[in-house]
Structure 1
Amino acid sequence: MPNGQLEHANISVTDPERSAALLIDMLGWKERWRGPSMKYGRSVHVGDSKTYLALYTGSHVSGGYEKGNPLNHIAFVVDDLDAAEKVVADHGLTPFGHDDYEPGRRFYFFDWDGIEFEVVSYE
């Protein structure tokens, strides 16, 4: 049976530099690449050595996404949930939906474009 892992996700955002700064601060990631993209836009890739998010924008990207169309949320695992929540708040975003059930604690937030993220800690 094959074995795999998620390599990257490509999401459309209105300001990839702003989104990259949040993810770098919250997750300890680094910028892997930036440049022109297909479809007349540009991308900033942030992540670690194996996994990343491609943050894409172009003149046709307007944000204002509705939850669940088509994405419900993107989830990240962190080792310090309280520190991650502080980073989110420091970037002017509002954490919500705090919960603590097996297998870990978590909270959610919407970014500036309406994309929902979940942050979870199993510590």
Structure 2
Amino acid sequence: MSTAFLEHVNFTVADPVKTATQLCDWFGWHVRWNGPSKDNGITYHVGSDTSYVAVYSGGTPVSSDENSYRTLGGMNHVAIVVDDLDATEKKILASGLKTHSHADYEPGRRFYFHDENGIEFEVVSYS
């Protein structure tokens, strides 16, 4: 029996280059690929050798004020596991973003933040 794993998630962002650069800085990832994509857009694949986040733009994105936690099929957050939670939070704060919902419960410590595109990230450490 084979084991399934999550390969990637794909987000529409205002500036794929800027978002890719931030993800590399915050999480120590690298750009796996970038190039033209759907609807004359551009996509960056950013992550590790086994999984990644695709950040895409096909022009001027449309904002939504909908609450994803109340929207059927809404994407609520992406969780990223890191070794050093405090060092990662310092990088995120240094980029001008605010963190929130800090918690320390089994099995690990965590916090959340929203990037400039409104994507919510959970950052967790099990160390």
TM-score range, shorter chain: over 0.9
Cα RMSD of the aligned pairs, angstroms, is: 1.4
CA distance in 1, matches of 2:45, 2:66: 23
**Structure 2 spans left out of the alignment, 5+ residues:** none
CA distance in 2, matches of 1:31, 1:65: 30
Q: Deviations over 1:88-109 (max 9, x none)?
A: 1111111111000000000000
State the 1:40 CA deviation: 2.0
Which has the higher relative contact order, 1 or 2, with Cα contacts under 8 A spaced 6 or more apart?
1
**Structure 1 spans left out of the alignment, 5+ residues:** none
Q: Which segments of structure 1 move beyond 3 Å, counting only runs of 4 or more?
A: 62-67
Instruction: Report 1:94-109 matches (<5 A).
Output: 94-109=98-113
Larger helix proportion, structure 1 or 2? 2
SS at match of 1:3: coil
* One of 104, 109, 114 as aligned partner of 1:110: 114
Structure 1 pair 30–67 and aligned structure 2 pair: CA distance change class (3 A)? farther
**TM-score where L is the length of structure 1:** 0.92
Counterpart in 2 of 1:48?
A: 48
